[in-house]
Structure formats: C-alpha cells, structure tokens
C-alpha cells in the first residue's frame, strides 16, 4: 500500500480527514502566525541584516542578545497592557514600566552610538519605535 492511499480519520467526528469540517479549522490554526511571531521575525531580520553588513562575529552575538531583549520587552508590554485592563490592579507600578523602558533605551542609544555597536544601535531604534507600533496595533485590532 502506498502512503497516499492511507486513510486518515478525524479524531473529533471520525469522518475521513478530507471530508471532515474540522480539517480546515485545524489547518488554519496550524498555519496561523500570531502578532508577536511576526514582530520577532521582522526584528530578527533587521538585526541579522545589520550583523551581516557589519561582518564581525561579535556583531552576531550582539544581534542575538538584542533579539532576546526585544522578546522580553514584548512580554513586558503585554503584561502591562493586561494589568491596565484589570478591574482590580494587582501590580501598582505597572505604569512605570513604559517610563523605565524609554529611559533605559535612551541611555543605551547614547552608549551604543559612542561605542559603534551597530546591531545594538539598530535594536535600540526598533525598541524606541515599538511602543508606537503597539499603540497603533492595539487601536487597529482588539485581540493583539
């Protein structure tokens, strides 16, 4: 028997997979890319391009570190947004997260500019633009 002749059945309704209405739902869910995935892909591509153009091994380490820092910032922003939506605030200092984020990135920008660390400098620019992107995206979509 060839592999393509093998019959697959839906685990939910026990129909043939090709005839089952659940197959389209599962395929769509599998292929769905969330907003934070897209953000990481874009930022990763930008940082990789800069590290490649810089052509120094240390630039790649810098790019990876900046990417992980960006991913940490993504989580921080989402947690802060979720805290803002609560009826009873549990973390009272959540509003300070954005202030500290912008202050830290401004200091890093000056440091990396003086040092000439281009992947990190580009990362700082991306970080400084991220809050603007989040506000735009949240206004545009309700479930980001």
The verdict on 28 and 80 lying in the same domain is: no
Alpha carbons 66 and 63: distance in angstroms, whole number: 5
pLDDT at residue 23 is higher than 60: no
pLDDT value of residue 62: 86
The verdict on 20 and 81 lying in the same domain is: no
The verdict on 59 and 18 lying in the same domain is: no
The verdict on 98 and 82 lying in the same domain is: yes
Phi, psi of 23 (to 5 degrees): -60, -40
Q: Domain span at residue 28?
A: 1-32
The verdict on 103 and 59 lying in the same domain is: yes
Poorest-confidence range of 10-14, 31-35, 45-49, 121-125? 10-14
The verdict on 54 and 23 lying in the same domain is: no
How many CB atoms are closer than 10 A to CB 144? Answer: 13
The verdict on 128 and 101 lying in the same domain is: yes
What are 43-84's pLDDT values in tens digits? 999 999 999 998 888 889 988 988 999 999 999 988 988 888
Number of domains in the chain: 2
Alpha carbons 120 and 64: distance in angstroms, whole number: 10
The verdict on 133 and 89 lying in the same domain is: yes
What are 109-142's pLDDT values in tens digits? 898 899 888 888 888 888 889 888 888 888 887 6
The verdict on 57 and 94 lying in the same domain is: yes
The verdict on 39 and 28 lying in the same domain is: no
Check: pTM over 0.75? Answer yes or no: no
Element (H, E) at 48: helix 35-54
The verdict on 17 and 52 lying in the same domain is: no
DSSP 13: T
């Amino acid at each position: 028997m060839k592999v393509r002749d093998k019959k697959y059945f839906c685990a939910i309704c026990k129909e043939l997979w090709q005839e089952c209405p659940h197959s389209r739902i599962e395929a769509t869910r599998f292929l769905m890319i969330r907003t934070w995935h897209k953000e990481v892909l874009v930022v990763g591509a930008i940082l990789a391009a800069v590290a490649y153009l810089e052509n120094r091994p240390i630039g790649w380490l810098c790019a990876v570190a900046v990417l992980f820092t960006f991913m940490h910032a993504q989580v921080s922003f989402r947690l802060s947004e979720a805290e803002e939506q609560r009826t009873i605030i549990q973390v009272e200092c959540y509003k300070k997260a954005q202030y500290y984020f912008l202050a830290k990135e401004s200091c890093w920008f000056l440091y990396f500019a003086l040092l000439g660390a281009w992947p990190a400098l580009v990362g700082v620019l991306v970080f400084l633009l991220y809050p603007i992107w989040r506000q735009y995206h949240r206004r545009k979509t309700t479930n980001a």
